[in-house]
Structure 1
Amino acid sequence: MNNISIEIKILDDRIIKLWGPPTYQTDLAAAIDLYACIDSTIKIKPGNPAQLLSSGISIHINNKNIMAMILPRSGLGHKKGLVLGNTAGVIDADYSGPILISVWNRNNIESGIDIDIAPGERIAQMIFIPIIRPDFKIVENFSHQNTRGEKGFGSTNT
């Protein structure tokens, strides 16, 4: 799978001039980090609605067997409370517009803990995932039964 090519368009030249193109931070990293392409430091206040920030790039996947996902950076979520406003962003293979990052301060309002985001800060990550697109067959009954069947929440006593 290493011979897959995805086109990246740089929409904000600070990426090349100041921060460098999105890349894997280590040889075994699963995702590339995305920068906050903003003009000045912003404060994300607890309890406020999520804000959309530009990543400064767009991508062109053009392969029905691949998608991209925007995920939070674990350290920012755990240490500061910065998470994605939509928990995860799905980038379909046919979308080629700007990659926007929905950021949200999950700290409670009473904490008063603002999160500062500086221009060029790595605030999210993008991972590329293989997609399986099955054909669907409408049926009256399923062809195979198993012991769990329709048992859902709490069916294993946990």
Structure 2
Amino acid sequence: MNSIKVRIAYVRKDKTPKLPQYATPGAAGVDLQASLAQELTIEPGQIAKIPTGLAIELPHAGVGAFVFARSGLASKYGLALANGVGVIDSDYRGEILVAVINQGSEPFVVKDGDRIAQMVFLPVFIGEFYLADQLDETGRGCGGFGSTGVS
């Protein structure tokens, strides 16, 4: 398995949350936990930024950290990421905050130490853009939303 060195720091000296851990040997994402002084209730339709108490330093600009929802929280309670996927750039040094939205019908309570999201490290490519008079043709062409059907 490939690995990278990621420096990590506590954001607050008075609180030292658990370091991120992989739940299983084959897990692609490392669990991020809430670092809260008190429980946080997220009402249906409400957006909240949940602190993790951690900041990271990625090894170089060719790597990004991407924050994804936890499938169990999304499918059981409707707790999803407010921005779809969180992107942590290689030059960001602030606290990792997880922006969530409660899409469920009941209030959702987050407690200190709850696993609230997962973070995956992926390669990043920098686009070098240049203007073209036309683009190469493909079989799909301009077919967009739903153009390939359901089954």
Same topology, TM > 0.5: yes
Instruction: Give the secondary structure class of the aligned counterpart of 1:21.
Output: coil
Deviations 1:106-157 (A, max 9, x none): 014xxxx111111111111111111122322211122x32232223234335
Partner of residue 126, structure 1: 119
Task: Measure the CA separation in 1 of the matches of 2:118 and 2:138.
Answer: 38
Answering whether residue 16 of structure 2 is matched by residue 14 of structure 1, we say: yes
In the alignment of these two chains, the number of paired residues is 148
**Which consecutive unaligned segments of at least 5 residues does structure 1 have?**
none
Backbone CA RMSD of aligned residues: 1.8
Instruction: Give the secondary structure class of the aligned counterpart of 2:127.
Output: coil
Partner of residue 117, structure 1: 110
Partner of residue 79, structure 2: 82
Answering whether residue 133 of structure 2 is matched by residue 136 of structure 1, we say: no
Q: Which runs of 4+ in 1 moved over 6 A?
A: none
Q: Compared with structure 1, are the counterparts of its residues 153 and 86 closer, same or farther at alpha carbon in structure 2 (3 Å cutoff)?
A: closer
| TM-score, normalised with respect to structure 2 | 0.88
Structure (1 or 2) with the greater helix fraction: 1
Task: Measure the CA separation in 1 of the matches of 2:21 and 2:40.
Answer: 24
Instruction: Give the secondary structure class of the aligned counterpart of 1:14.
Output: coil
**Which consecutive unaligned segments of at least 5 residues does structure 2 have?**
none
Contact 1:62 1:94 in 2 (8 A): no
Partner of residue 147, structure 1: 139
User: Which of these two proteins has the greater Rg computed from alpha carbons?
Assistant: 1
Give the letter aligned to residue 53 of structure 1.
Answer: I
Partner of residue 64, structure 1: 61
Percent identity, aligned pairs only, is: 36
* Equivalent of residue 40 in structure 1, options 38, 41, 56: 38
| TM-score, normalised with respect to structure 1 | 0.84
Deviations 1:53-77 (A, max 9, x none): 1111001114121111111111111
